[in-house]
Amino acid sequence: MATIPLVERELSAKELSVRPVVWTIAGSDSGGGAGIQADLLTLHDLGCHGCSVITALTAQNSVAVTAVEPVSAAMLNAQLEALKADLYPSAVKIGLIGNQQQLEFLADWLGDNLPGVPVILDPVMVASCGDGLQSREEAPETDDVKGKPCLDFSPFVGKISLITPNKAELARLTGELLADDDALVIAADRLWQRFGGSVLAKGGDCPWQQPRAKDLLLLGDIPTISPLHRRQGFWLSGERVATAHNHGSGCTLSSAIAAFVARGLVLPDAVLLAKAYVFEGLRQASAVGKGPGPLARTGIPESLTAMASIYPLHESRSHRLPTKGFTRLGRNLGVYPVVADIDMLEALLEAGAKTIQLRIKGEIGPGSPAEADIIRAIELGRQYQARVFINDHWRLAISYGAFGVHLGQEDVDTVPLDAIAEAGMALGLSSHGLFEALLALELHPSYLALGHIFPTTTKEMPSKPQGLETLALLTKIVSTAVPTVAIGGIEAGNLPKVAATGVDNIAVVRAVTEASDPAAAFRALADAWENRNAR
């Protein structure tokens, strides 16, 4: 075989920034609905440059797979080396693997050549039409889905970020017979313990899940998400789409996850967006041949109705939902300063702040100066007819009749939200990314904070800055349901760009507290925000 010359040149920032490169290592579907073809369509649709490493040719149409032929080891290697030399990936999706030899080679090659690159493994074994997809020696036709796995995936242990089996694949991978959610949880957990990384056990082919289908997401030890959600399990529950046109849905899901990861989203956010993408793709799918048609390509999902509902594996949602709602707020809260000092709080109210937060960290003892500050802040709120939120200290806020409380995600499981709602108060909740935003929305807060947008020195953050593009997307998704507040690194210089995302409000700490004249800094920000659409 001719060798392809290695390209060795520095890429310009512009070249690198255009579309993140994602590889799909998978089989070709001659029918164009699944495999490499579905992946490349998905990757392009989601703003990535898709590269393909073909593991096997399949002869198939929308009703049957008639032949499968794995490529040679040399050809597989040549494709990988050619791409590595010029088109290094930001993420990799693996789909159909032609045989055990390929699998072992791939696991070694990826470990040696792409350290640190996120790998999404869709352990494809059965096509949606029911035909086996490995070559005949690997998967005899008599194989039952709960029988022996046709491939041994153990060489991938410790090397993948996420594995996405459907029920049939999970049954084969674990040797478990799956007939209800309890069995699904046990099998997914077993896979999770064995593979490391994260597991998405898909429920679309679980007949007992009606009327909604639930995927089980078991998150690995992901350093860029809140410690609260690391190594935790969540159900992602979504409406079933009544369509026969679902060819390539698993391929589309896994390549969409890879696309969103390559675009810089953390894994749980990428999974949610990819699920919404598949949901929209199914809703708009139509026939091409005589059998199930392919999914439609509908771009980055922006609608809340396409998003799954999330609830923790070990907790019922009803347990967390207050029976009475929190105070409803209008969209416009004004520029929202967050301060620790009571005199500054008063000065900012005097300067016209209509929403403000007192954020005193740490324990507050009875009769302490900090308690006196909270009492005073609540009184000042009444005096100035402003919305004063108390951060963290919900008991004092309830006792002294505050307008509202601001809580973080870590507080939600321990604070009796019912008590806040029953006291007729407002609740602001923090979120860092789509996963946390959707979790928070389940509680119907009065506003939702979207943070942190830019790097901040005010607080140590486990998450990455969201940036303006993600802020715009999050705003589109959630703002039909709740007023939004952007926070983190916002100041006069970046205010116009933040405003352009469409977020309803901004909250600031240093832009006001570190100004030589905080009241004047607040007035300037408030003025710029009010006139944001006038330029």
Ligand X SMILES: Cc1ncc(COP(=O)(O)OP(=O)(O)O)c(N)n1
List the binding residues for Mg(2+): 392, 411
Dist CA 477 CA 310 (whole Å): 15
Out of 76, 507, 512, 526, which residue is the one contacting ligand X (CB under 6 A)? Answer: 507
| Binding site residue list | 357-361, 391-392, 411, 430, 456-459, 489
Question: Is 408 a binder of ligand X (CB under 6 A)?
Answer: yes
Residue 483 preceded by cis peptide, ω within 30: no
Question: Is 456 a binder of ligand 3NM (CB under 6 A)?
Answer: yes
Structure tokens at 377: 């802040």
Question: Is 212 a binder of ligand X (CB under 6 A)?
Answer: no
Q: Which residue lies nearer to ligand X by CB, 52 or 357? A: 357
CA distances from 33 to 246, 280, 295, 423 (A): 9, 16, 8, 55
Structure tokens at 93: 């999706």
Judged by CB under 6 A, which stretch of 164-172, 218-226, 280-288, 402-410 contacts ligand X? 402-410
Angle of helix 249-262 versus helix 35-45 axis, rounded to 10: 40
Structure tokens at 387: 């919305």
Dist CA 278 CA 262 (whole Å): 18
The end-to-end CA distance of the chain, in Å, is 61
Judged by CB under 6 A, which stretch of 29-37, 185-193, 379-387, 451-459 contacts ligand 3NM? 451-459
Q: Which residue lies nearer to ligand X by CB, 148 or 328? A: 328
The residues in 335-394 that bind Mg ion, with binding defined as CB under 5 A, are: 391-392
Question: Is 470 a binder of ligand 3NM (CB under 6 A)?
Answer: no
Question: Is 428 a binder of ligand 3NM (CB under 6 A)?
Answer: no
CB of 345 to Mg ion, least distance (A): 17
Closest CA to 255 of 444, 16, 43, 108: 43
Dist CA 458 CA 297 (whole Å): 41
CB of 407 to ligand X, least distance (A): 6
Q: Could you give the angle at the alpha carbon of 314 between the alpha carbons of 312 and 320, nearest 5°?
A: 60
CB of 342 to ligand X, least distance (A): 16
Question: Is 407 a binder of ligand X (CB under 6 A)?
Answer: yes
Q: Which does 214 bind (CB under 5 to 8 A by kind): ligand 3NM, Mg ion, ligand X, none?
A: none
Structure tokens at 5: 């010359």
Dist CA 239 CA 180 (whole Å): 18
Q: Which does 357 bind (CB under 5 to 8 A by kind): ligand 3NM, Mg ion, ligand X, none?
A: ligand X
Alpha helices in 27-94 (DSSP H): 35-45, 73-86
Judged by CB under 6 A, which stretch of 17-25, 31-39, 303-311, 452-460 contacts ligand 3NM? 452-460
Positions in the binding site for Mg ion (CB under 5 A)? 391-392, 408
Positions in the binding site for ligand 3NM (CB under 6 A)? 338, 430, 432, 449, 451-452, 456, 458-459, 487-490, 508-511
